[in-house]
Amino acid sequence: MLSQHLVILPLLIPMLAALLQLLPWGDEPQRYRRAIGMTSCVALIAVAILLLLQSQHGPSVYALGSWQAPYGIVIVADKLSALMVLLTALLALPVLWYACYGEDNLGSHFQALFQFQLLGILGAFLTGDLFNLFVFFEILLISSYALLMHGGGKQKLRATLHYVLLNLTGSAIFLIALGVIYGITGTLNMADLAHKVASLQADDAHIARVGGLLLLIVFALKAALLPLYFWLPQAYAMTTGTVAALFAIMTKVGIYAIIRVFTLIFGDDSGAAALLGYEWLWWLGLGTLAIGALGVIGSRDLRLVIAYLVVISVGTMLTTFSMNSERSITAVMYYMLHSTFITAALFLIVDVVAKQRGKTASRIVKGRKMAQHAILGMMFFAAAIAIIGMPPFSGFIGKLFILEAARTGAQVALLWPLVLGSTFLVMISLSRAGSRMFWHTFDGKPGDVSHPTGQLVAIGLLLLAIIGLTIFAGSISTFINGIAYDVMHPASYIEAVLGEGYSNE
């Protein structure tokens, strides 16, 4: 009985938790809200593990209201979506743990907004319907608007305003795209669209391609792909470390949507609409990678450096995906796991460093020693090695997968120099930051601001995840090889959603 309803639990858990957190809880409401939030995150991890194990036997489909696809709304958990659910849950627990040491007091309803954000993210990963993908996008966006403003301030307001305006535009384009696709196919179920789009001919196929390209614009905005990336650096650099760490998964929602839609609906077997946008993704991904590398070397604030590292990861993953092979999907998925954990850890490290340095904050300038200078220095050093891609951490393995996925002469000639060149620039930037902020400090008494051990433990958990990705790289790569095969051969997904007897007529 539990296995039957397991697919819907990742949505019910954060929704119920958020509603409970909005209730009045007497004299000490925050204590109860924190307990509810942490319980929710632990429960999500347990459910996500069960869902991942269940996905080994094929996609699980939950028809809401017992209305079967393509007529009703379905929630689908295959290996890809189950892994993304687990990634989100494993990220959420240490980030919320960190926030529970007072960070959640900087603004009202942080705990409930955190859970609503998880609801939107997890829903986007699990939905089998394009319209409900739009709905879950809106849930996570509305929550993110408030979270970006967490703690207040003029700079946050300016960055949030840009973010809101761009995403409102993106939402409008999304609705137009859905109208175009529904008008020509009569469905928004993704598995059903895979059949309908493949059978379109002539003008109908061209209209479907227009709808698909509009979707690509929307997903590129969510993922922060060139030229739609410019909202990300300021938004991530100006918000609190806790929110930025949670948002490490946000760009992955856009990347996931591109992988799901453009392999299932516009993949190799989609007739006249096959491989829609792949060439654009290749060139724009390379451009995003280059712009991110220039942003890293040109930034004089460590928060901004890390924000541009997110941009680099987006360019790297989408360029690799556009090569359209099982090897490239495997490389993207491993690198996605790595980049999510390590950028989240770095955002939290910089948050602690900025508060302990005082007036110099996160600016890459010489400052005084911090109260917890040694432990923060070691954490930053480990995180820097990992994100640069030096052995033995997961960044090195991820970049090896990416370079190995480039097989043709053109791919090697363009991707290798950009990946290796950006790695060199990241190494220079982080070495400069580490030298000025941890090595060359002013003489005298260290600062007196220190952070609770619990917050440092939360950061340590994210760094441990990187070590886990390294130790179990073989098993993880085997599993994501299976994901890559399923993504490139979506027949099992389509059959699970529509049933064996489904007819295209």
Structure tokens at 277: 């946008």
pLDDT of the residue at 501: 57
Tokens standing for 419? 């990946």
Return the pLDDT at 228.
86
pLDDT over threshold 70, residue 502: no
Residue 503 has pLDDT above 50, yes or no: no
What's the rounded Cα separation, in Å, for the pair 297 and 196?
47
Q: Please, are residues 357 and 437 in contact by the beta-carbon 8 Å criterion? A: yes
Q: What is the pLDDT of residues 416-444, one digit of tens each?
A: 999 999 999 999 999 999 998 888 777 77
In tens, the pLDDT along 441-474 reads 777 777 778 788 999 999 999 999 999 999 999 9
- pTM of the predicted structure, to 2 decimals: 0.94
Q: What does the pLDDT average to over 378-385? A: 94
**Helix 302-321 vs helix 231-238: angle between axes, to the nearest 10 degrees?**
140
CA distance 200 to 209: 10
Q: Rounded to 5 degrees, what are φ and ψ at 280?
A: -65, -45
The pair of structure tokens assigned to 95 is 């980030």
Residue 92's pLDDT is what? 96
Question: How far apart are alpha carbons 320 and 327 in whole angstroms?
Answer: 9
Task: Give the pLDDT score at 90.
Answer: 97
Task: Give the separation between CA 277 and CA 287, rounded to whole angstroms.
Answer: 15
Residue percentage of the chain with pLDDT more than 70:
98
Task: Give dist(CA 117, CA 142) in Å, integer.
Answer: 8
Give me the pLDDT at residue 268, please: 85
For 483, the token pair is 């994901």
Residue range 55-84, pLDDT digits in tens: 999 999 998 888 887 888 899 999 999 999
3-state secondary structure of 129: strand
Q: Tell me how far the alpha carbon of residue 497 is from its chain's centroid.
A: 25
Query: What amino acid is encoded at 312 in this protein?
Result: I
CA distance 225 to 92: 24
> Is residue 2 scored above 70 in pLDDT?
no
* pLDDT grade for 1, boundaries at 50, 70 and 90: low
Taking only the tens place, the pLDDT of each residue in 223-268 is: 999 888 888 898 898 888 899 999 999 999 999 999 999 999 998 8
Confidence of residue 504 (pLDDT cuts 50, 70, 90): very low
pLDDT tens digits, 321-343: 999 999 999 999 999 999 999 99
Q: What is the pLDDT of residue 3?
A: 65
Question: Could you give the percent of the chain with pLDDT greater than 90?
Answer: 68
Give the lowest-confidence range in 2-11, 237-246, 392-401: 2-11
Q: How large is the C-alpha radius of gyration of the chain?
A: 22
Give yes or no for a contact between 52 and 86, defined as CB atoms under 8 angstroms apart. Answer: yes
CA end-to-end span of the chain, whole Å? 34
- Rounded to the nearest angstrom, the gap between the alpha carbon of residue 500 and the centroid of all alpha carbons in its chain is 33
Residue 505 has pLDDT above 60, yes or no: no
pLDDT tens digits, one per residue of 121-143: 999 999 999 999 999 999 999 99
Q: What's the mean pLDDT in 195-212?
A: 90
In tens, the pLDDT along 74-117 reads 999 999 999 999 999 999 999 999 999 988 888 778 999 999 99
**Domain ranges across the chain:** 2-497
Q: What is the pLDDT of residues 140-175, one digit of tens each?
A: 999 998 898 877 677 778 878 888 888 899 999 999
